Amino acid sequence: MKRRTVAAGIGSLLSGWLALVGFGRKSAFAEPSAGMMGGGGMMSGNAMQDMMSHNNMMGPMKLGMELFERHAEIQRATQYLPNGIIDATVSSNPTTARIIKAHVIEMYNRLADNRPFPYPASPSVTSMFENSTKYQRSYKLLPTGIEVTETSDDPEMVKVIYAHARELDRFARDGMPAMMRGMMGNKM
């Protein structure tokens, strides 16, 4: 799919979503426990504007959108541990492999620097940022991607780690439709 087609599709989907939730009406995002995050606090106030801000679109959202566009080139394997996961995300396409690595490294840097960003497509991201000191994370660069290890002694945080791995599996398998289901609160 061409980049313009994907961008136009994203714009149409976001416009429809904004109309559906009544963007601009404070009541849609007034309570942190309500709204698109299903309990998270990142979809409050001007969250959609924040999500689409220049800083986000040049950082985590830009790389994430590139990965959605290339989802058919991505393979994932997750080993579920009693206290977390070991997860490898790879691609035989060297450009896609570089984007995968850059995205994970950027996310881990943002976690280390406590620089959250609004991302309603992934309900687990909010919890990961809010509880970044409750779990350990590391990565190992692979020739075709990256392997991450995320563990915690907190059983609730382990559930979040598992949920995030499942979200990423859906994103890699289904691409944009999985992102839109996440934004609409459907965790199928």
Query: What does the pLDDT look like over 130-167, one tens digit per residue?
Result: 999 999 999 999 999 999 999 999 999 999 999 999 99
Measured CA distances, 162 to 5, 125, 137, 149 (Å): 33, 12, 13, 12
Take residue 2 and report the two structure tokens written for it: 């061409």
What are the b/e assignments for 128-164, b being 16+ CB within 10 Å?
A: bbeebebbebebeeeebbbbbebbbeeeebbebbbbb
pLDDT digits (tens, 9 = 90+) for 11-66: 444 433 333 333 332 222 222 222 333 333 333 444 444 444 444 444 567 787 88
Residue 6 has pLDDT above 60, yes or no: no
Q: What is the per-residue pLDDT for 62?
A: 75
Q: Is 55 helix (H, G, I), strand (E, B) or coil?
A: helix
**pTM for this entry:** 0.66
CB atoms within 10 A of CB 12: 10
Long-range contacts of range 44-48, CB-CB < 8 Å, 24 or more positions apart?
47/118, 47/120, 48/14, 48/18, 48/23, 48/118
Confidence of residue 108 (pLDDT cuts 50, 70, 90): very high
Confidence of residue 185 (pLDDT cuts 50, 70, 90): low
- Nearest C-alpha neighbor of 67 from the set 145, 172, 165: 172
Residue 115 has pLDDT above 60, yes or no: yes
Bridge partners of residue 148, in order along the sequence? 87, 139
Q: What is the per-residue pLDDT for 178?
A: 54
**DSSP 8-state class, residue 121:** T
**DSSP 8-state class, residue 89:** E
Count Cα neighbours of 181 within 13 Å in the Cβ-side half-sphere: 12
